[in-house]
């Protein structure tokens, strides 16, 4: 349980620490304060994971679901920082906006969860596939190195280390059994880190500089401040976050063969939003489900929520012990990238499995999948596609998962629900671009 839980931490660690590092740098925090902010986000991610996996009352999906700082909030948070004259007020303004957005999201969860009726297999399969496809560029970026401005970014050394880690994970999955097979990703990360030492890529500096004990003092950066513009922008992020969390819960439900119903989704959204509302108390940001951990569940087939809860315990420990947190930071980014190819690719494969039983022999379903995936990969293939749109709109548009999900839901309504039964959706065709037979409509 401990090693499997640690795998989940390793898979999502980079995603948790990236937002506080980016926002903290924009605010101009010192190295000590930046370390504090990062530890606070790890601590609150652990608390949110406890809420999601173990649950309290009607709060928590009680699925093997990891929660952490959502990357969707980075753009609006940096915009808030840029628009704040006194940078010392930036974090309190962000925290106040996150609290309000979290409370409103918690109240809206019972209504938002009813969207599940609009997520049949053709929609869920498309969204799950998009989740995997959207995450793969993250692993490719890791494989190239931690800093795009560095001279060795994308070097042969970095890519080789990523490839070696990938091969190690694949060999362990192919030629081992039982416990060793289940922790193949963790073993691959350890082996890759050791191999990287002679290349000078492994940095043990974070361990040497870290303190043994540290607690995220409540409201360390000041009492929360409430500004309307900041609150509105974070409410938009909350809607995006709830949409992605709904899709992630549906994806995880398919993978563990326990389909998520309205009750499960409502409880999961309550955990997301309550975790977000409480996070600023300990200097953390908005929390949401981490899709990359779904890939780990899909690959290992370890479905126990208590394993993920154990991972949440590791996150809390890291928040309380900066030295423990620094151990994960030792893993070189190229090594994480090699393991990420397997993790995120597994999510996309799960989506394809779902699409296989979605009735793709029907013309309408093929078109739904084709257009939704095309719309969903726009932010990946053309990152500046929506550059002329307002910043608020780009919060949604730059999330391929959100745009693809909305597109799939709307197209499913148009093709499979609006109009009379027995319309075009019932016709079998071999390809969406081929003409179907003429349809006689019974009046």
pLDDT, averaged per 10 consecutive residues of the chain (443 residues), comes to 79 73 77 78 89 87 83 74 81 92 91 76 82 81 84 90 93 82 79 90 72 79 86 79 80 81 88 91 86 74 84 85 69 85 79 82 88 91 87 72 84 80 44 41 41
Q: What is the pLDDT at residue 270?
A: 92
pTM of the model: 0.66
Q: What is the pLDDT at residue 173?
A: 84
Q: What is the pLDDT at residue 116?
A: 67
Helix (H) or strand (E) holding 374: helix 363-376
Q: What is the pLDDT at residue 368?
A: 92
In the three-class reduction of DSSP (H, G, I as helix; E, B as strand; rest coil), residue 106 is classed as helix
Alpha helices per DSSP H over 54-89? 74-83
Instruction: For residue range 52-101, list pLDDT tens digits in order.
Output: 888 888 898 888 888 888 776 776 787 788 778 888 888 999 999 999 99
In angstroms, the CA 105 to CA 272 distance is: 9
Q: What is the pLDDT at residue 103?
A: 94
Using the structure block, give the residue that is written with the tokens 């500089």: 209
Helix (H) or strand (E) holding 90: helix 90-112
């Amino acid at each position: 349980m401990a090693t499997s839980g640690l795998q989940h931490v390793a898979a999502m660690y980079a995603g948790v620490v990236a937002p506080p590092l980016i926002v903290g740098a924009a605010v101009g925090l010192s190295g000590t304060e930046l370390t504090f902010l990062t530890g606070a986000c790890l601590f609150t991610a652990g608390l949110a994971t406890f809420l999601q996996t173990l649950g309290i009352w009607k709060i928590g999906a009680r699925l093997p679901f990891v929660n952490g700082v959502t990357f969707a909030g980075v753009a609006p948070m940096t915009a808030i920082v840029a628009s704040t004259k006194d940078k010392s007020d930036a974090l309190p303004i962000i925290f106040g906006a996150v609290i309000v957005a979290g409370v409103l999201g918690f109240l809206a969860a019972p209504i938002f969860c009813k969207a599940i009726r609009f997520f049949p297999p053709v929609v869920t399969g498309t969204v799950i596939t998009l989740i995997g496809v959207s995450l793969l560029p993250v692993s490719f970026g890791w494989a190239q190195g931690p800093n795009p401005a560095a001279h060795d970014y994308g070097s042969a050394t970095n890519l080789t280390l990523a490839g070696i880690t990938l091969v190690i994970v694949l060999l362990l999955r192919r030629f081992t059994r039982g416990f060793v097979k289940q922790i193949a990703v963790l073993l691959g990360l350890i082996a890759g880190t050791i191999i990287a030492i002679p290349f000078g890529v492994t940095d043990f500096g974070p361990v040497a500089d870290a303190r043994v004990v540290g607690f995220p003092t409540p409201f360390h950066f000041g009492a929360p401040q409430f500004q309307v513009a900041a609150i509105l922008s974070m409410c938009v992020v909350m809607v995006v976050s709830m949409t992605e969390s709904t899709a992630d819960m549906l994806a995880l439900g398919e993978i563990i063969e326990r389909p998520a119903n309205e009750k499960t989704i409502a409880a999961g959204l309550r955990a997301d939003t309550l975790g977000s509302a409480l996070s600023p108390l300990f200097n953390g940001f908005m929390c949401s489900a981490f899709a990359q951990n779904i890939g780990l569940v899909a690959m290992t087939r370890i479905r126990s929520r208590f394993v993920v809860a154990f991972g949440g315990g590791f996150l809390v420990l890291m928040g309380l012990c900066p030295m423990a947190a620094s151990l994960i930071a030792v893993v070189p980014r190229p090594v994480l990238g090699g393991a990420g190819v397997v993790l995120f690719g597994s999510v996309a494969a799960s989506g394809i499995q779902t699409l296989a039983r979605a009735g793709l022999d029907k013309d309408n379903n093929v078109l739904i999948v084709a257009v939704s995936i095309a719309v969903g990969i726009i932010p990946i293939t053309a990152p500046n596609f929506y550059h002329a749109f307002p910043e608020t709109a780009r919060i949604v548009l730059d999330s391929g998962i959100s745009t693809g999900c909305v597109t799939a839901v709307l197209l499913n309504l148009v093709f499979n629900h609006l109009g009379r039964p027995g319309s075009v959706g019932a016709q079998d065709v071999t390809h969406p671009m081929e003409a179907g037979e003429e349809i006689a409509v019974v009046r």
